[in-house]
Amino acid sequence: MSMRLRIPAALTTLATLCACAVGPDYQRPPASVPASFKELDGWKPAEPVDATPRGAWWTVFDDPLLDSFVGRVNVSNQTLAASEAAFRQARAVVQQARAGLYPSISLDTSVTRSKSGTSRSNSGSTGFSSGGSSGAQTSYQPSLAATWDLDVWGKIRRTIESDEADAQASAADLAAATLSAQAELVSDYYLLRAADEQIRIFDEAAAAYERSLAITESQYHWGIATRADVALAQTQLESTRAQAIGAGVQRAQYEHAIAILMGVPPAELSISPDHLPEVPPAYPVTVPSALLERRPDIAAAERRMAAANAQIGLAEAAYYPDISLTASFGYASTALRTLLGSSNELWSAGLTATQLLFDAGSRSAVVEQARAGWDAALANYRQTTLQSFQQVEDQLAALRILDQQAVAQAHAVTAARDAERIELNQYKAGTVDYTSVVTAQQTALSNEQTALDIRSSRFTATVSLIQALGGGWSAQALPEQIGSVWPRAY
């Protein structure tokens, strides 16, 4: 084998054999996971055969209009567009890092026209002999140069490992942002429906108060009621009408918020009034250990932990020499027609190693920074996990308590309506004054408002519970090979 072939072959073999990577290999540390949720007693457990949608989780509410709204979030929401762009940036960083595994090749071509000068001696004292002028000539020199950084200590591979983990974290961030936007829209939708119910309650109360005003005016006409009773009934009626109008402000704000989440100007969205369902749907709850695979924010924290681990190896690789291969091949000639002749060949090949001997502790400081970054990422992962358990427990407790409160409040509404009816009948009979009627009516209206608030809170708590459980997302949705796979939102 010629020398020209033996040297590249030996260097290639060296690069193949050097496949180690310094630094710790990543292993996900254990998290403190309870066996079950404390607030889960009496709740429907999730089963592998459960038919609950795992992607479009909002369809459990069985509202086609809501389905159409949430479907547009993934397409037009500008916050999600920014998160998606951040993922594309992270993916490009991975592609850039992977390029470091391969040699870089450059082409250099030069064409030079030159002419040497002439020199004459005056009296022989200059030391130069006279000569004729040389003619101008053109030189041609094309060449290929290659440089290959041998990743002997795994610096490039650890960089790729870190960047891939960061990109996966970015994909999880996109999923978390998607889930958050979806949950916010569903919550706003049911708060809007609660505002519709609030306006209906005020309108129905105003209609009842209008009838009471007519009764009071009749009583006043026959000398049974006073003018003050009429004024009081009129005040109550107009005040309730004003409350009905005021509730429209909040409804409009929810409608505008929904439009923004859908990525459209508020002027382009109008939602017709409709009722708020009596009870939200039941949603199955998984065991706490499954939460680690279903929450995108936990997945993002875990992937950033993996990235921080790779940064330790990257920092430790700085202790070792950088080794690279360099090679070049080309031709040089003053005659273009003979340029590619073997006698005009120019080539070189070599191995370069660079070792930093003294840096006053700079590399050690970088390693310490990387280890501290790992500790911070680990703490953030564990804190995110703990907070996820808290959020599920909070919403389970809220739903359990709200269910009990709804039953008690329903009894209160029934009793308040009975009291209102009795007081009005007694007023018609002339046994009580109108202030007693007003008090009973205000009590009944207040209890209906409280019941509506509880009903609305049950819907928003259900949405928050689904969000705390990760919606329909799964860690399996994370792209394994960054660069060719797009993340799925759920």
pLDDT, tens digit, for every residue of 357-414? 999 999 999 999 999 999 999 999 999 999 999 999 999 999 999 999 999 999 999 9
Six token digits for residue 188: 């706003």
Sheet containing 322-331: give its strands across: 104-114, 137-150, 322-331, 345-354
Identify whether the C-beta of residue 115 lies closer than 8 Å to the C-beta of residue 318.
no
The pLDDT of residue 123 is: 46
Segment 91-108 shows an average pLDDT of 93
Mean pLDDT for 25-43 is: 82
**Widest pairwise Cα distance in the chain:** 148
DSSP secondary structure code for residue 55 in this structure: S
pTM as predicted: 0.84
How does pLDDT run across 45-88, given as a tens digit for each residue? 544 434 444 578 999 999 999 999 999 998 888 989 999 999 99
Q: Give the sign of the dihedral formed by CA 425, CA 428, CA 430, CA 433.
A: positive
pLDDT band at 482 (very low <50, low <70, confident <90, very high): low
Averaged pLDDT for residues 273-281:
95
Spatial separation of the C-alpha atoms in residues 192 and 258, rounded to whole Å: 9
Tell me the CA end-to-end span of the chain in Å, nearest whole number. 58
Give the residue with greater pLDDT, 284 vs 27: 27
Cβ contact 365:435 at 8 Å:
no
Which pLDDT score, from 0 to 100, does residue 486 have?
Answer: 37
Query: Which one has a higher pLDDT value, 17 or 27?
Result: 27
Model confidence at 44: pLDDT above 60: no
Contact 469, 39 (CB under 8 A): no
Element (H, E) at 147: strand 137-150
Please tell me the distance from the alpha carbon of residue 412 to that of residue 409, in angstroms, as a whole number: 5
Residue-wise pLDDT tens digits, 294-319:
899 999 999 999 999 999 999 999 99
pLDDT band at 262 (very low <50, low <70, confident <90, very high): very high
Residue 298, token pair as written in the block: 């936990």
Where are the strands (E) in 36-99, listed by range?
none
Token pair, residue 199, equals: 């306006």
pLDDT for residue 126: 42
Which domains does the chain show, CATH number per domain?
A: 3-110+139-475 (1.20.1600.10)
User: Is pLDDT at 244 greater than 90 in this prediction?
Assistant: yes
CB 466 within 8 A of CB 57: yes
Computed over every residue of the chain, the mean pLDDT equals 87
> In angstroms, rounded to a whole number, what is the distance separating the alpha carbons of residues 230 and 236?
10
By CB atoms closer than 10 A (0-12, 13-18, 19+), residue 287 is middle
- Does residue 165 or residue 11 have the better pLDDT? 165
Task: Assess whether pLDDT exceeds 60 at residue 131.
Answer: no
- State pLDDT tens for residues 443-477: 999 999 999 999 999 999 999 999 999 987 777 77
The predicted structure's pLDDT at residue 125: 45
pLDDT confidence band for 21 (50 / 70 / 90): confident
Q: At what angle do helices 227-261 and 434-468 cross, to 10 degrees?
A: 10
